[in-house]
Structure 1
Amino acid sequence: METMISLERAWELVSQKIHPMATEKVHLSEAYHRILAVSVTSPIAMPPFDRSPLDGYAYVASKADPTPLPLREVSEIPAGTYPVRELGQGECAKIFTGAPIPVGANCVVRMEDTESHDDQVLIHRPVSAGANIVHQGEEIQKGEIVLISGTVLNPPSVGLLAALGVEEVTVYRRPRIGLLSTGSELMEVGQALQPGKIYNSNTYTLRGLLMEVGCDVKVASFVPDRLPETIATLKSLQDMDAVVTTGGASAGDYDLIREALIGIDCELLFWKVNFKPGTPVAVGIKGNQLYFSLSGNPAAAMITYELLVRPALKKMSGRRDEEEVFPVKMAGSFGKSGKQRRFLRARAVFREGEIWADPNYAQGSGVLRSMIGSNLLVDVPGGHGPVQEGETLCAHWILSEGEL
């Protein structure tokens, strides 16, 4: 087991042990927020025929057309119908948005640029050949790859598949994640708070984060700081793809989670990662099942989740997006300095096309309220010294799964 390692080394050890989920076919109506496992090629062209993008008149344009141009209306083409009459010179068809272009026609003029009386149409502004026609396959060609594997199937992508007539897609199975909070100080919400106790918030926070990234979550009842109960509860989660625990991860007499993991024959990959807050994180593996042991401090647990657990679950789920790191300018200062790397919660502020990070929130490891409104983690290197307003550091987005 390695100890007090860098975040990069921790991710290297974890990523080597990740196995992608099995795949399954689902109906399109059940595909929202699933991860595509097999790229989709279009079975049809889009649009499937030459169509009109507006209400107007389709006709045969030529360079010799006078202004205004008199034509005779010989047919009407609503959307959803298919024209059978071919247009000749001097003829036009009244056409509506989305309707197919009739044979013979080579343009569409806007309704607003015409005047009609009975079957006579006067075009005040004739158009040239090719005007206002959306050609077959202009958006998508038949056989073209429209969505690649690893794509999150959000509502627009599901709508696109529906427009192409795709009924089923192959997706990765949702990871099944076990969630366990430990600590003799914990009480369930809804009970009267007893002296020396705190409410169990981590289960609720982490359950939401796990659901947000597309996991099916099994929540175990929290356990006190006693080894037999902890081992028994961990064993009840051994059918999960991964387990996330909070509490009992440090080095005190009542921090038992590492001993409990060893008690279920779990191999510990590492303990302690060299950053704040959230240093006492441990990760183990048993077979293909990963165990993430996070700090019991709420904000520390969330930050460690964002830095280590969420990327692991994304890779496990088959997602192809990478964690983006980018420069930000600091919109406020942070007075503490130290040898250890630190991640500051911050809110993104946009100024003249640049991203600024406002860290003006409490930064303690247990301050859960500071995560509300924070959407950045700012990376302050070890030994950096106090953060000054206006300086440039690196950051990445957090709590951004609302686009799923």
Structure 2
Amino acid sequence: MAQHPLLPVEEARARIMAALRTTEKESLPLARVLGRFLAEEAIARRTQPPADLSAMDGYAVRAADTLTVPARLRVVGEAPAGGAYTEHLNEGEAVRIFTGAPLPQGADAVVIQEDTSREGDVVVIEETATAGDHVRVCGLDFRTGDPGMPAGRKLSPADIALAAAMNLPQLEVRKQPVIAFFSTGDELVRPGAEPGPNQIISANNDGLAALILEAGGIPLDLGIARDTVGDIREIAARAEHADMLVTLGGASVGDHDLVQEALTPLGLDIDFWKIAMRPGKPLIFGKLGDTPMLGLPGNPVSALVCAILFLRPAIIRMQGGDTALHLTQARLGADLPQNGSREDYIRAGLDHVPGEIHVATPFPIQDSSMLSVLADASCLIVRKPHAEAVQAGGIVTVLPLRR
């Protein structure tokens, strides 16, 4: 049978992203939107500051009255935070003012209290003021109608504080996509169970659930399917209302790799199968009816690396967010030989060197069965197909795994 060329990683990513639909919108209070993606541009409902405000404790003055120092000004009132001096400030006058209080009409500067001394109802100004000193002008932060945050932003605590300041008690965000998934294999048992003589502990379900949560999705763990067509079909049917179905294992060429055999009669339409990367060659993408389906390798390291490259951005894409991988550069900490015909993702440590770019040191053993190496990795060194050998000290492209 003729061999089809393996699909390049970037083309596989592009085809997956193009096939996905954005989830619907929902309106949520600010207390519930951390980490969610804005569905609509956030528009300010108020001007901030709403008036010219004092930025310091001191005295509100007319700058012209302080051109010659020391200047003696009569204190005619007080403006506490949450209050105001409502009269017009005239020549030769000053108002005791506190941080956050509005400037009186006629005042154009604040002299900080450290630059003054007080003699009864007279304040002695010891430093010349310039108009605008220690004043937060009206609208310095934003004005009513200003765009505050664009659609697609993943909301941080600072974003939520900004929304509150803009007088937005709730925001329109994208619904979190439900990602249904299951592993396949008679050899697998869940953590905590006693494996039989030919069985192993399944690591994929729990690792994938964590990645889905981290990316902003809702994991729907359908368990482990036995190596029968019937069991795979029965479990896959429970993903009917999910936004995406992910399978783990059963996507290779062995006699017991049954995912395609089981699901094709149910409407599985495969877009591509097998990509030019290591680890993770046996990757499937298509649709089961109207539901996008991603078939990850059963090997735990391969599954997680593929999930980082394909599933995480898919979850973000369904919420309208930025799907870029945010690759960066690092200096290589150990020699690397010439790469083969597949794009390679090498697990590595990433060390900070003050004043220089990070140093990425590949782990000496890259066996795809070793989850301990992936757990210790701070980045993946990305090597294009047929990349030339690189000696220690050379520059390589890396995908950071930890913030």
* TM bin (shorter chain): over 0.9
Assess if the C-alpha contact under 8 Å between 1:19 and 1:288 holds in 2: no
Deviations 1:332-358 (A, max 9, x none): 234575333211122333333323322
In 2, Cα distance between the equivalents of 1:212 and 1:99? 42
Question: Out of 151, 158, 161, which is 2:153 matched to?
Answer: 151
Map residues 243-392 of structure 1 onto 2, 5 A cutoff: 243-320=245-322, 322-335=324-337, 337-351=339-353, 352-360=355-363, 362-384=365-387, 386-392=389-395
Assess if the C-alpha contact under 8 Å between 1:278 and 1:365 holds in 2: no
- Equivalent position SS for 2:295: strand
- Equivalent position SS for 2:306: helix
Match of 1:51 in 2: 53
Q: Displacement, 1:396?
A: 2.7
Match of 1:161 in 2: 163
Match of 1:103 in 2: 105
In 1, Cα distance between the equivalents of 2:397 and 2:150? 30
In 2, Cα distance between the equivalents of 1:364 and 1:262? 32
In 2, Cα distance between the equivalents of 1:40 and 1:112? 40
Residues 219-228 or 237-246, more deviating: 219-228
- Tell me, yes or no, if structure 1 residue 139 matches structure 2 residue 141: yes
Residues 274-283 or 24-33, more deviating: 24-33
Q: Cα distance 1:142–1:170, how it changes in 2: closer, same or farther (>3 A)?
A: same
Deviations 1:202-240 (A, max 9, x none): 111110110011111111121222221111000111110
Q: Displacement, 1:290?
A: 1.0
Q: TM-score, normalised by structure 1?
A: 0.93
In 2, Cα distance between the equivalents of 1:58 and 1:186? 74
Residues 149-158 or 390-399, more deviating: 390-399
Deviations 1:148-190 (A, max 9, x none): 0101111110110001111222111110110212221211222
Paired amino acid for 2:104: P
Paired amino acid for 1:364: D
In 2, Cα distance between the equivalents of 1:140 and 1:349? 40
Question: Out of 88, 94, 103, which is 2:96 matched to?
Answer: 94
Q: Displacement, 1:2?
A: 6.8
Assess if the C-alpha contact under 8 Å between 2:278 and 2:343 holds in 1: yes
Match of 2:217 in 1: 215
In 2, Cα distance between the equivalents of 1:313 and 1:178? 12
- Equivalent position SS for 1:85: coil
Match of 1:398 in 2: 401
Assess if the C-alpha contact under 8 Å between 1:63 and 1:128 holds in 2: no
Q: Displacement, 1:112?
A: 1.1
In 2, Cα distance between the equivalents of 1:247 and 1:24? 35
Q: Cα distance 1:389–1:64, how it changes in 2: closer, same or farther (>3 A)?
A: closer
Assess if the C-alpha contact under 8 Å between 2:331 and 2:394 holds in 1: yes
Calculate the aligned-residue CA RMSD, in Å: 2.1
Map residues 56-75 of structure 1 onto 2, 5 A cutoff: 56-62=58-64, 65-75=67-77
Percent of aligned pairs with the same residue? 29
Map residues 3-82 of structure 1 onto 2, 5 A cutoff: 4-62=6-64, 65-82=67-84
Deviations 1:55-99 (A, max 9, x none): 111111217632112122222212112321222122211111111
In 2, Cα distance between the equivalents of 1:173 and 1:231? 27
Q: Cα distance 1:23–1:2, how it changes in 2: closer, same or farther (>3 A)?
A: farther
Paired amino acid for 1:89: E
Assess if the C-alpha contact under 8 Å between 1:327 and 1:394 holds in 2: yes
Q: TM-score, normalised by structure 2?
A: 0.93
In 2, Cα distance between the equivalents of 1:78 and 1:287? 66
Assess if the C-alpha contact under 8 Å between 1:50 and 1:133 holds in 2: yes
Q: Displacement, 1:51?
A: 0.6
- Equivalent position SS for 1:219: strand
Paired amino acid for 1:357: A
Q: Cα distance 1:207–1:160, how it changes in 2: closer, same or farther (>3 A)?
A: same
In 2, Cα distance between the equivalents of 1:268 and 1:141? 51
Residues 230-239 or 359-368, more deviating: 359-368
Q: Cα distance 1:321–1:231, how it changes in 2: closer, same or farther (>3 A)?
A: closer
Question: Out of 173, 178, 185, which is 2:180 matched to?
Answer: 178
In 2, Cα distance between the equivalents of 1:141 and 1:373? 47
Number of aligned residue pairs: give it. 400
- Equivalent position SS for 1:313: helix
Gaps of 5+ in 1: none
Paired amino acid for 2:76: V
Question: Out of 203, 206, 212, which is 1:204 matched to?
Answer: 206
Paired amino acid for 2:154: V
